[in-house]
Amino acid sequence: MSLVKLTIKGISYSQTQNGAYALILNEVDGERKLPIVIGAFEAQSIAIALEKEIKPPRPLTHDLFKSFADRFDIVVKQVIIHKLVDGVFYSSIICERDKIEEIIDARTSDAIALALRFQAPIFTYKNILDKAGIYLNPSGSESESDDVLSSPEPLGDSKDTSGSGLSKFSLAELHEQLENAVQDEDYEKAARIRDEISKRES
């Protein structure tokens, strides 16, 4: 299976779930986006790694891992998002020490937070992007979604309008809702709808 390189487009606040964020990955040689729902801590860690000027007073967990790896000459070579099951992405961290390569299982959010700190490339398989990637509306503006959160803050109260009630919609209605969510650049909602569609079509 062929690998597809991804870059980080940004992080957006969840519109439907307290404490959740949508990490948006961009296909390097294409137009598809891969939204992944992550927690607040991981979102903050990724945002801090993206914003080079921000230095936390004490090392975050991922910074500690980087220092530990540096001390023992362990290098993260790449991260591969290798599996998607029931809306959950599975990732592997490819490490090297003394010219010996090891593969370590990791949550995707942790793997990406570490990839940023090691300046390691992020990949996924083409079949995963075919299944879970979404297209932006070509006529829509992307200017607002280019902003990356530098210091995520806790979300205020919000009503869950998409997570639990998707089962009552038909596939056609879900595809229409997916298009609307993408046009509104609500990637977290789009990811949930996409996962519901994938479950039904698999």
Residue 5 CA to residue 27 CA, distance in Å, equals: 6
Is residue 167 packed enough to be buried (19+ CB in 10 Å), middle (13-18) or exposed (0-12)? exposed
Distance, in Å, from the CA atom of 108 to the CA atom of 180, rounded to the nearest integer, reads 26
Report pLDDT digits (tens) over 44-65: 899 889 887 667 778 889 999 9
Please report the pLDDT score of residue 140 as a whole number. 42
| Distance in angstroms (rounded) separating the CA atoms of residues 27 and 14 | 22
Per residue in 135-180, pLDDT (tens digit) is: 865 444 443 333 334 333 333 333 333 444 788 888 888 888 888 8
Q: What percent of the chain lies above the pLDDT cut of 70? A: 80
**Is it the case that residue 124 has pLDDT exceeding 90?**
yes
Distances (CA, A) of 152 to 90, 95, 178, 180, 186: 24, 29, 25, 25, 17
Give the DSSP H or E segment for 77. strand 75-85
Supply the pTM of this predicted model.
0.71
